[in-house]
Amino acid sequence: MLTLIAKRLMFAVPSLIGVVVVTFVLTRALPGDPAAYFAGPAGTKEAIEQIRTKLGLDRTLPEQFVRYVSDLARGDLGTALTTGQPVASDIRARLPASAELTLLGLIVAIAIAVPLGILAATRPGSLIDHACRIVTTAGVSLPVFFTGLILVYVFYYRLGIAPPPLGRLDVFASAPRDITGFYLVDSLLTGQVDVFFASLRQLALPALTLAIFALAPIARMTRASMLAVLASDFVRTARASGLSPGTVIVTYAFRNAMLPVVTTLGMVFSFLLGANVLVEKVFAWPGIGSYAVEALIASDFAPVQGFVLTMAALYVLLNLVIDIVYGVIDPRMRVEA
């Protein structure tokens, strides 16, 4: 297992280097002049040139790249002009909000999609099977921002049972003491039950938005994988041996159908990190997605580069976790690795 982890980390290094190069080139190709933006409409040419010199934009692209890479080697992601804070500090402060939203959305999606896919596979052509197809088609077809707006309109504006979409907590609640950065976890650790439910209420709609987006591929893959396994010889043998249907489905069928589902979970999680950008803007969520969008509008290079590099590192870590889970589910994967 350690050899597998070392190989995956070694293969990840060229990918991260490519992300650094591509991100640097693309940010410099963006339209607009950051110096003119921050100088303001009344900024003079002299003021704009001073800002450009301060930002290092007066240098050639190779010189800017060498400076950027040397800063990265020291762990310095630069300073965000939009906030005036180091990018690393901004990402460290905002990443827990995005991670909490993404993980809760994925958990909700798994809780709905996996049982739905299993039931649809064990009862092909039934009402539950048709319901699974309808749900998955809707989840794939609806844009995530449109789903979020519909949920806000129905549950907040029309029914009035959801809180206003204005961040992680309403105006009457105070944030719990920062331990993990996850409000749900921190409020439980500090015994603030009221803050826990206030945070959960704010999380409900954005997490449901992500869950609707994520459950479609998970349910589809679970159903397809279970159908393939249920038609195999060893499942027929297990049934002929007199084992209960629950034992056959859970112990024999689902365990062998898990590998494609785990692969899909990894892909879906990466999709959710991208969809977070839209969901955070709809629900005014203070995560790194909205942070990157604001920086992109202002042509602020450093936060955009830091955001993309953080996402790339999370993808690498996610793939590593998937490889480890593969080895746990199927020991043959460890031997092959």
Phi, psi of 167 (to 5 degrees): 110, -160
- Going from N- to C-terminal start, the domains of the chain cover 2-63, 94-302+309-336
**Helix extents (H) in the chain:** 2-28, 34-39, 45-55, 61-73, 87-122, 127-141, 144-151, 183-189, 193-230, 233-240, 245-247, 255-282, 288-297, 301-329, 331-336
Please name every residue paired with 159 in a beta bridge, in sequence order, or none if there are none.
none
User: Residue 313: pLDDT above 70?
Assistant: yes
Residue pLDDT, tens place only, 198-231: 999 999 999 999 999 888 899 999 999 998 888 8
CA angle 256, 257, 262 (to 5 degrees): 110
Phi, psi of 79 (to 5 degrees): -115, 135
What does the DSSP assignment read for 227-291?
HHHHTSHHHHHHHHTT--HHHIIIIIIIHHHHHHHHHHHHHHHHHHHHHHHHHHHHTT--SHHHH
pTM: 0.83
Cβ burial, residue 267 (10 Å; 0-12/13-18/19+): middle
- Contact by Cβ (8 Å): 242, 271: no
Residue pLDDT, tens place only, 52-106: 777 777 787 788 888 888 888 888 888 887 788 889 999 999 999 999 999 999 9
Tokens describing residue 210: 């992500």
Residue 154's pLDDT is 93
Please name every residue paired with 79 in a beta bridge, in sequence order, or none if there are none.
86
- Grouping H, G, I as helix, E, B as strand and the rest as coil, residue 86 is strand
Terminal-residue alpha carbon distance, the chain: 8
Measure Cα distances from 143 to 21, 133, 152, 212 in Å. Answer: 31, 17, 14, 10
**What are the CB-based long-range contacts (under 8 Å, 24+) for 70-73?**
72/20, 72/309
Q: Which of 75, 83, 72, 39 is nearest to 57 (CA)?
A: 39
Q: Which of 69, 60, 81 is nearest to 17 (CA)?
A: 69
Q: At 257, which amino acid appears? A: A
Residue 40's pLDDT is 67
Q: Which of 104, 90, 111 is nearest to 272 (CA)?
A: 104
Residue 78's pLDDT is 82
Cα separation, 7 vs 271, whole angstroms = 25
What does the DSSP assignment read for 30-46?
SSS-HHHHHH-TT--HH
Residue 16's pLDDT is 80
Measure Cα distances from 259 to 61, 225, 264, 286, 331 in Å. Answer: 45, 9, 9, 34, 12
Tokens describing residue 308: 């993309």
* Superfamily for domain range 94-302+309-336: MetI-like (1.10.3720.10)
Above pLDDT 70, what percent of the chain? 92
What value does the mean pLDDT take over residues 231-248?
83
Of the pLDDT bands very low, low, confident and very high (cuts 50, 70, 90), residue 331 is low
Mean pLDDT of the chain: 84
What value does the mean pLDDT take over residues 17-28?
81
- Contact by Cβ (8 Å): 284, 167: yes
Above pLDDT 90, what percent of the chain? 20
Residue 153's pLDDT is 92
Residues belonging to the chain = 337
